[in-house]
Structure 1
Amino acid sequence: MRYIFRKTCMAITLLLMSMLTLTAQDNVVDKIIAVVGNQVVLKSDVETRFLQLQAQGYTSGSVDLKTEIFEDLLIQKMMIAQAAIDSVEVTEQEVENDLERKMQMYVQRIGSKEKLEQFYGKSLLEMKNDLRDDNRNELIKERMQAEITKDIHITPAEVREFYNKMNKDSLPMIAGKLEVQQIVRYPQVTDDEKDRIRNRLRGFRDRVHNGENFATLAVLYSEDPGSARQGGELGYMPRTDLVPEFANVAFNLKTDKVSKIVETEFGFHIIQFIDRKGERINVRHILLKPKIEEAKREQASSRLDSIADLIRSEKLEFDEAAFYFSADKDTRNNGGLIVNPYTGSSKFEKDNLPPAIAQQVNTLKINEISEPFLDVSGGKDAYKIIKIKSETKAHAANLSDDWSIFENMLTSKKQQDILNKWIKDKQANTYVHIDDSYKNAKFRFKGWIK
């Protein structure tokens, strides 16, 4: 069974990273190949996505791949046109927040912001700019789909009937999942090193006051590799996307003014205001990261070693140790339990764990405590010990253990049935013009050609 809308959304999500490096649209002689209501589909839209899908190794099923892409775009444009009529909207802040969430997901997957920017040869700001329009359209389509299918209701009896009718030889396989707890210690920076960094930043600030260009200094000296290439510019960002210490200063700056020195979890900054649009601000910054002495690294690791021994000797529960000793504010209050950014739950497939943690997991059994190790995936050096709290093995889905799987499958089926009917109804009373090059295309829905 094909759930075309879920498939399209997932495909676009998976392709976001490959889209960042492709510039195929610059090489396409563009033209309008369809009009749906007041929306247009460009040839470059199809060609670019075709190249992206090919790069991902995707092949089409029963229809030509370009036709499949084209029809998915027709459906998207129909929904966007209807969303405008029904006043179904997304805000710019929602678009920015969703882009930021996806960027953070990719940062965690690849290991660090620096690695992501190095791999694609672009700053996070450039990546966001490349993806913003497509992301906005996808969010509008998703919201319109939700509006169309909002009245679906699933009963337990329907779920059981759905499960009983399934071929038991084709039940989905459920991947093994883990829950992981952590205790984190950050190696301390000496006061002398902090003073050295502050004095250097004061020097930069004096140079700007004496007429030197802030952006040039950022390119030369900032240790934020993504923004440094852009003269330290971060792009328009809401307060929620900035760490509080940085945001509190940045949002109170006036045009061209340079801030006092700001200390955050990433290091020390000076900030220059560029512009503000509503609740979003654009600033430049210069970041310097203090150097950590080897003795301080050994101290953090040794402290974790002692904590691990207390837990292993049952003098302290892991949850208690996390509360009293962990320096990670996001996990210390829930026993050190790490939340999966992809799902919002505490369960991970191994492939979705941060690389340093995944490497440790491979050598641990449930309830064993790891040796201290270094993890730099969060943008700063962190020493950790971890424990696997629980593990479920891979298995064929069954109703008692995986009720939500079948409930979601049935919900998706009902949604798809409603969406299919909606498309057919809208095809009949929406203005649609298809370019002659697609007159003989084998579409899934037959009502595009009139």
Structure 2
Amino acid sequence: MSKHSCILLVLAILSASKIVTAQSKVIDKVAAVVGSNIILQSEIEMQYAQYLAQGNKASSDFKCYILQQQLTQKLLAQQAAIDSIEVGEGEVDDNINSRLRYMSSQAGGQERLERFLNRSLLQYKEEMRPSIYEQLKANKMQQNIVSGIDVTPLEVKRYFGSLENDSLPYFNTEVEVGELVVYPKLTREEKQQFRDRAEDLRRQVAEGADFATIARLYSQDPGSSPYGGDLGFNTREGFVKEFSAVAFRLKPGELSPVFESEHGFHFLEVLERRGEEVRTRHVLIQTKPTSASLQRSKTHIDSIHSQVISKKLDFYTAATMYSDNKETKYNGGMLLNMENQQNRTTLIPTDKLDASVFTAIDTLQPGQYSRPAQFTDQMGKTGYRFTYLKSRTPPHQANLNQDYAKIKEAALDDKINRKLSEWFEGRRKVTYININEEYHDCDDLKIWLKDAEKIEPVAAQE
């Protein structure tokens, strides 16, 4: 999805949210009661409006799903309160700030976001706080329920044996791939033209030119230049270290000197300070590789490639020492399958590989290396890289010998899901639950309705 599409999506969501908020004052009603807590119809309509704003088709089933998720969260949060599970104010603030940073960046800055919300971000943060607090408590409660759960090799074997042959998953070709990347390094003299350009633009602002206009016309940061360079409020962690060092040293209204980061040459102005957050705007002039710097990179990576091919240097050591790809160099250059954030693996289905990486390894045999070649990464940086094919696993039906790690993960998920199901079943049987008749036909809610009438409302207050 393009950045412009993302912005339109966020604005559509915010617009839909405003409409629902206005309507809820008139049409709001109770959708369900869980213990001593209520779920309002407006909460469901808000999430449903966001669902529609993402381009999905109207579906009453999705409202059922939203209510089922709300019921689950309420049960977990109530038990968290009973078990004295605490969520610190700092945790809530960090979560809210992270959400608002994302929303601000996608909406095009704090001011645009506040216009669409029809309220200040400070006001919106306070409105969000109870909901985020409950979500975090529910998450901690769920983690407590399943903490310490693991599976033994025997349980993995039993789980696999319980699967029907015709239900065994079929895995496409998977590969283990490494890459060593070298980006051009510019000399001080080669960088000077870009610094001079940034210095000239800063001089114009210092002499009275409008900062926002200069940023719109000349800044090479596509995310902020359309909005006058405005980056909204951010914590120190929201910027690269060089930017943070400057931004948090200045007072509101101060203009920084030109400074360098990995993105190029910047100068910035602090607009506001708010606690541990600062709102800034900046102008960026990106550095571009020269033909001489590209040639130096080519010579450097050719030398590394020759040492690896001749086995004077193993690939993992070479990647750790020389690769400029920060995401892979400390993993010996190996790419990771990012689909499962909790259990990352080096085995990657070929249909999930970047097209240029697939092309580089397509004709390689396991243990072979591609020739160094020029490429442009997703951020638009040009460099050189060569690729290493460690292994290629042909398409096959799941088996314990080849797929033990995946089967273990599935067995663990199954055990966790069964534990959670048992917990929810037990809590539903002793918690007063009343669901509005409008939702009684929802398949997702049948199990919640099963025992609801057997529990007296007074049980919620005990």
Same fold (TM over 0.5): yes
Corresponding letter in the other structure for 1:170: S
> Does residue 225 of structure 1 match 2:226?
no
CA distance in 1 between counterparts of 2:329 and 2:163 reads 43
The structure whose residues are more often helix, as a share, is: 2
TM-score norm. by structure 1 comes to: 0.74
2:7 and 2:153 mapped to 1: Cα distance?
39
Equivalent residues of 1:99, 1:135 under 8 A apart: no
For residues 370-409 of structure 1, the aligned pairs below 5 Å read 370-378=371-379, 380-409=381-410
Partner of residue 456, structure 2: none
Matched-pair contact (CA < 8 Å) for 1:35–1:434: yes
Specify the alignment match of 2:360 in structure 1: 360
Any conservation in 1 of the 2:289–2:382 contact (CA below 8 Å)?
no
1:412 corresponds to 2:410: no
- Structure 2: distance between partners of 1:158 and 1:101: 43
Q: Does 1:260 align with 2:233?
A: no
Q: In the alignment, what sits opposite 1:168?
A: 165
Distance 1:439 1:340, change over 3 A: closer
2:401 aligns to what SS in structure 1? coil
Aligned residues: 413
What is the CA–CA distance in structure 2 between the aligned matches of 1:306 and 1:281, rounded to whole Å? Answer: 45
Q: CA deviation digits over 1:340-368, x for unaligned, max 9?
A: 45444434333444454344333443323
CA distance in 1, matches of 2:439, 2:330: 58
Asked if 2 retains the 8 angstrom alpha-carbon contact of 1:276 and 1:282, the reply is: yes
Aligned ranges for residues 9-28 of structure 1 at < 5 Å? 20=10, 22-23=12-13, 24-25=16-17
**1:251 aligned residue (245, 248, 253):** 248
Which residue in 2 is equivalent to 1:156? 153
Cα separation, 2, equivalents of 1:446 and 1:320: 56
TM-score norm. by structure 2 comes to 0.73
1:78-107 Cα offsets, whole Å, 9 max, x none, are 33454456434371475379769999xxxx
Structure 1 stretch displaced more, 319-328 or 252-261? 319-328
Distance 1:351 1:96, change over 3 A: farther
Distance in 1, Cα, partners of 2:150 & 2:313: 47
Deviation at 1:419, TM superposition (A): 2.3
Instruction: Give the CA deviation at 1:386.
Output: 1.5
Aligned partners of 1:347 and 1:96: how far apart in 2? 35
Q: Secondary structure at the match of 1:388?
A: strand
Distance 1:350 1:406, change over 3 A: closer
- CA–CA distance in 1 between the matches of 2:334 and 2:372? 17
Q: Give per-residue Cα distances to partners, 1:375-429, cap 9 Å, x unaligned.
A: 3224532321211222333332223333343333333333323323333444455
After superposition, where does 1:435-450 map in structure 2 within 5 Å?
435-442=436-443, 443-447=445-449, 450=453
Q: 1:446 to 1:54 in 2, by over 3 A?
A: farther
Equivalent-residue separation in structure 2 for 1:256 and 1:424 (angstroms): 58
Structure 1 position 298, deviation (Å): 4.1
Alignment RMSD (CA, Å): 4.1
Give the conservation status (yes or no) of the 8 Å contact 1:219–1:232: yes
With over 3 angstroms needed to count, the CA separation of the structure-2 counterparts of 1:239 and 1:180, relative to structure 1, is farther
Alignment check: 8 A CA contact 1:34 1:435 kept = yes
1:148-184 CA-partner distances (Å, limit 9, x unpaired): 2225353433333222222133122344433322222
Question: Structure 2, unaligned stretches of length 5 or more?
Answer: 1-5, 118-124, 454-462
Query: How far apart are the structure 2 equivalents of 1:430 and 1:79?
Result: 12
Q: How does 1:23-62 map to 2 (within 5 A)?
A: 23=13, 24-25=16-17, 29-30=23-24, 31-32=28-29, 33-36=31-34, 37-38=36-37, 40-41=39-40, 42-48=43-49, 50-51=51-52, 55=56
Identity, in percent, stands at: 30
Contact 2:219 2:285 in 1 (8 A): yes
1:287 Cα deviation after fit: 1.1
Counterpart of 1:109 in structure 2 is none
Corresponding residue number in structure 1 for 2:346: 346
Partner of 2:460: none
Shift of 1:268: 1.1
* Counterpart-to-counterpart distance in 2, 1:43 and 1:299: 59
C-alpha deviation, 1:46, in angstroms: 4.8
Q: Is the 8 A contact 2:85 2:137 kept in 1?
A: no
Structure 2 CA distance for partners of 1:399 and 1:333, relative to 1, 3 Å: closer
Question: Counterpart of 1:73?
Answer: 70
| CA distance, structure 1, for counterparts of residue 219 and residue 162 of structure 2 | 61
Which runs of 5 or more residues in structure 1 are unaligned? 1-15, 104-116
**Alpha-carbon contact 2:319-2:332 (below 8 Å) kept:** yes
Shift of residue 269, structure 1, vs aligned partner:
1.1
